[in-house]
Amino acid sequence: MRFIHITDMHITADDRPLYGLSPRGRLLAAFDCINRDFTDIAFVMMTGDLVNRGTVPEYLALRDILESLNAPHYLLLGNHDGRAEFREVFPDVPVDEHGFVQFSFTVEDSRFIVLDTLDEGKSTGLLCQKRLDWLAGQLAEAEGLETYLFLHHPPLRLEGGEAMAEMIFGKVKHLFFGHLHRPLHGSWKGIPMSSQFSTLHQFVYNFGSKVMQGSHEPPVFGAANLLNGNVVINPHSFLDASPHFSLRSKAAQNAASPEDLPLED
């Protein structure tokens, strides 16, 4: 079974450009690629910052764009989202007893848990005790199933993240998150984890710099393959316009420059 992990779409109302790019056009391009090349997926998971300012018009724009996706999809909230505004436009998305937009679902023999880490008005996330208690209940219900967790904020510096780590160690096979606008793959407290590029602009990783810089590095979504307890994630650059050529072609091997490559469709 496989699914698609998309994150940080930052949809705007009326397709207002953001950092010189079209959030709507970028997400539609991702959906076009999924509809064409990933017809066997179980679902698409979108891990937050669905829109840019958390307004109803932005969520209406997102709802319109989602009509073009030919696959089941799930939405979770990031720090750019607004909980009440989201629920107004997407009333069918489940919430817990406290109104947090978090839920679980099962596909084949795998259980997927979706966490709400939104701390409204702040860019940092939060897992309060109510949300942690809910997570504990979901983990108990998922006992015996391969379990995966989705959230927007990286757990490393997330308030409540340490408590979550103790709770999920040995029970959750992989954490999927966004927020960073960069790929991050590894493990944290013995828990495998990964993020992907945004479908829009990216953050420049410049360790030690106090200036937050952005870039137009190509957008990526992750194709996550789950098989026999293994997790393999293939990042897919859906707007890649680089030349495609046969690696077995002698003419391609001997090309003096990219312009001299014998190209293939």
CATH for 189: 3.60.21.10
Residues 79 and 48: their CA atoms lie apart, in Å, by 8
Average pLDDT over residues 222-251: 91
Q: Is residue 51 part of a domain?
A: yes
Residues 108 and 41: their CA atoms lie apart, in Å, by 12
Structural domain for 77, as ranges:
2-260
Q: Which residue has the tokens 């099962």?
A: 106
Confidence of residue 133 (pLDDT cuts 50, 70, 90): very high
Token couple for 214: 């952005």
Q: Is residue 233 part of a domain?
A: yes
Q: Is residue 115 part of a domain?
A: yes
- Burial degree of 107 (CB within 10 A; 0-12, 13-18, 19+): middle
Give pTM, 2 decimals. 0.94
CA-to-CA dists, residue 3 to 133, 156, 167, 228, angstroms: 27, 24, 25, 15
**Considering its fold, how many domains does the chain have in total?**
1
Q: Is residue 138 part of a domain?
A: yes
pLDDT, one tens digit per residue, over 62-77 is 999 999 999 999 999 9
pLDDT, one tens digit per residue, over 21-71 is 999 999 999 999 999 999 999 999 999 999 999 999 999 999 999 999 999
- CB 199, CB 8: distance < 8 Å: yes
Residues 166 and 84: their CA atoms lie apart, in Å, by 31
Q: Is residue 112 part of a domain?
A: yes
- Burial degree of 82 (CB within 10 A; 0-12, 13-18, 19+): buried
Q: Is residue 153 part of a domain?
A: yes
Q: Is residue 265 part of a domain?
A: no
For residue 153, give the nearest of 193, 186, 192 by alpha carbon: 193
Average pLDDT over residues 110-129: 96
Is the predicted pLDDT of residue 265 greater than 70, yes or no?
A: no
